Amino acid sequence: MSGFSHDTVPIRKDMLFAIGSVTKNMVAALTLKRAEEGALSLDDPLSKWLPDYPNIDPSITIRQLLNHTSGIYMFWSNQQIWDDLKKDREKRWTPEEVLAYVKEPYFKPGEGFRYSNTNYLLMAMILEKAGGATLSGQFREAFWTPLGIENAFLSLEEDIPERQVHVFGDNFNNDGSVMDLTFLPRVSHESITYGSGGLFMTAEGLARWCHALFEGEVLGRKSMDEMLDFVERGLGWKKRGYGLGVERFSKRQSSGAIAIGHTGANIGTSVYMMHLQEQHTSVVVMINSFDHKCSGAITKNLTTAILRDRGEAGLFPYFDLFPLGFVLIGASVFWAGFFVLWVRRRRRNKIGKG
């Protein structure tokens, strides 16, 4: 652990961070768990579990919710919901109220990829029906108790212990100011992100979860194959993918290793959860600032150090300054070619004189 929570109070290993969208990974795992039990199927349409909602195609499947190929509009891309949220930050929104802000879909189901928190709000609603209990209760019964994870709490459904790290940011005022946001009202924000966020965990607890899941302690092999069936995005060194609640990171981000996991952010926090598959190593980074560049850089440096210690670091760690790295390579090739041409010309001149 490193750094300060607030003032001169250091961050301790028992402090809780809001992990934001990393929660999607647990929601997806719980869905696969219920599928293993026969409570639902990944190919179930929304119409089997939920009533019709405007701008949401009832034929969309659970699988399409989990891998973001549903095309459903991201409700918080609608500025109106933020304007209304700021009017009363203590209001507890219902899922139905949130879904009223969903606009026309981005594309037809299965015809593209678009990350949308709306998918996981709907998934949480389905899980409550399929599991017959609250989301927090199902997490505890299926995951936290069996794995011995004591420090995991779902906001609004469970009391969050007071040992939360202090968090800093501008509270969505977008005026550049930085303040301690720890004790500001957040009920509205937590309620609209239900299912897509909401969990508070320690770094140790999240690392335990990450390693248990990706090393086969949580789900069966078939379920893991389903989870790791990725929708491909990007090209070359930027190529990445999204499965069922899990990201496959680009090799640039993972220093050339094959890495899976998820990122997340909440009010004043940024989190990386990464598992290096071939090295069987999990890395979790949490910071008390809404700064993905910072948490991403720390994660990359840690993975690079791990690979170097194992003698497995490749070229990717040296391309942090892209495109400078490729410019230097291009310049080297150019001057090497120039030198070869110069030598050949000198030889021809000598032959001609002889």
The pLDDT of residue 120: 98
- Summarised one tens digit per residue, pLDDT across range 108-145 is 999 999 999 999 999 999 999 999 999 999 999 999 99
Distance CA 125, CA 297 (A): 35
Over residues 196-214, the mean pLDDT reads 97
Q: Is 342's pLDDT higher than 60?
A: no
Closest by CA position to 275, among listed 25, 75, 61: 25
- pLDDT, greater one: 209 or 343: 209
- pLDDT, greater one: 323 or 173: 173
Q: Is 86's pLDDT higher than 60?
A: yes
Enumerate the domain spans of the chain.
4-309, 321-353
- Summarised one tens digit per residue, pLDDT across range 239-270 is 899 999 999 999 989 988 999 999 999 988 99
The pTM of the full predicted model, rounded to 2 decimals, is 0.87
Least confident segment among 230-234, 287-291, 312-316: 312-316
Distance CA 219, CA 256 (A): 27
Distance CA 330, CA 310 (A): 30
Q: Is 81's pLDDT higher than 50?
A: yes
Over residues 156-160, the mean pLDDT reads 95
The pLDDT of residue 177: 72
Q: Is 340's pLDDT higher than 70?
A: no
Average pLDDT, the chain: 88
The pLDDT of residue 181: 84
- pLDDT, greater one: 329 or 190: 190
Hey, is 80 helix, strand or coil? helix
Angle among Cα 221, 110, 68 to the nearest 5 degrees reads 65
Given the structure tokens 């720890």, which residue do they identify?
182
Hey, is 175 helix, strand or coil? coil
Two structure tokens written together for 17: 């961070």
Two structure tokens written together for 232: 């491909």
**Can you say whether the dihedral through the CA atoms of 77, 81, 87, 90 is positive or negative?**
negative
Give the containing element (helix H, strand E) for 225: helix 221-227
Two structure tokens written together for 48: 């089997």
Q: Is 6's pLDDT higher than 90?
A: no
Closest by CA position to 122, among listed 79, 63, 77, 81: 63
- CATH topology (fold) of 4-309: Beta-lactamase (3.40.710)
Burial per residue of 28-63, b for 16 or more beta-carbon CB atoms within 10 angstroms, e otherwise: bbbbbbbbeeeebebebbbeebbeebeebbeebbbb
User: 204 with 19: CB under 8 angstroms?
Assistant: no
* Band of residue 184 on the pLDDT scale cut at 50, 70, 90: confident
Question: DSSP E strands: which ranges in the chain?
Answer: 4-6, 9-10, 17-18, 152-154, 168-169, 179-180, 199-201, 231-233, 240-242, 247-248, 259-266, 269-276, 281-287
* Band of residue 5 on the pLDDT scale cut at 50, 70, 90: confident
Distance CA 301, CA 307 (A): 10
